[in-house]
A = this chain, B = another copy of it.
């Protein structure tokens, strides 16, 4: 497995191999868990060789957020990727991606405006900018993103379409712990008590799905069911809800009534940790 911090080396390797082999890119911020590894496995199904980028992107963190404490277990990450048969890891330094004088950003598509676009100002601007850079440095045929970051996957898909980036995006299903908690690098932050309370997010989404599956189409009713499961401020609940909503699954615009499908999304804080999760609501599943 090639491990490089150098953008030129990463591109040259990709160009050389890409002439004869289909390459898939899995962009990550490291601190890899089973969710990431499932993206790598999906990438192997879609392409001949898999490239993983590991970069904790400062421009997608607000000043108040957890950039400084974001975990960076690089040796564990490399061992896991080696085990998965990854061909190259691109692991650049911050000043490789943002050298002195850097000042061009992607102004993200409108699906970036609601939800995390409001709660995390500048987040998707940072995400789009680094993803666009990675797509230029590593000209892969396919890129695999996780559904857990649902809005991110819509934002990147719209950017790719709007800017004509020649890459196929694939969104892979969320991997969960046995009790339903979505895998996340941020789960490492949780104390034992917080970890127990974190189950509220997937419970809320299960409630949304159960309500939808039983025939409920009124969004306010489904959102109420989600809020009940989040148990805000209770000893077994989350500490704060950023949102617990049902939205159009393509535009993330608010709905009053679900026609055929929608997405239920939740973002909540437990102690100092912010977790997100979502489930797509589709008829006849």
Residues of A within 8 A of B (CB): 7, 11, 19, 101-111, 125, 128-129, 132-133, 136-137, 139, 158-159, 162-166
Contact call A107/B104, Cβ cutoff below 8 A: yes
Contact call B105/A107, Cβ cutoff below 8 A: yes
Q: A19-B19, A163-B136 are in contact. Are A104 and B158 (CB under 8 A)?
A: yes
What is the total number of copies of this protein in its complex? 2
Among residues of B, the one whose C-beta sits closest to the C-beta of A105 is B107
Contact call A166/B106, Cβ cutoff below 8 A: no
Beyond the given A19-B19, A104-B128, A137-B164, please list 6 additional residue pairs across the A-B interface where CB-CB is below 8 A.
Answer: A11-B166, A103-B162, A104-B162, A105-B107, A132-B163, A139-B166
List the 5 closest pairs (A to B, CB-CB), nearest first. A104-B162, A136-B164, A103-B110, A105-B107, A103-B109
Contact call A163/B103, Cβ cutoff below 8 A: no
CA A129 to CA B110, docked complex, whole Å: 15
Instruction: List B contacts of A132 (CB < 8 A).
Output: 163
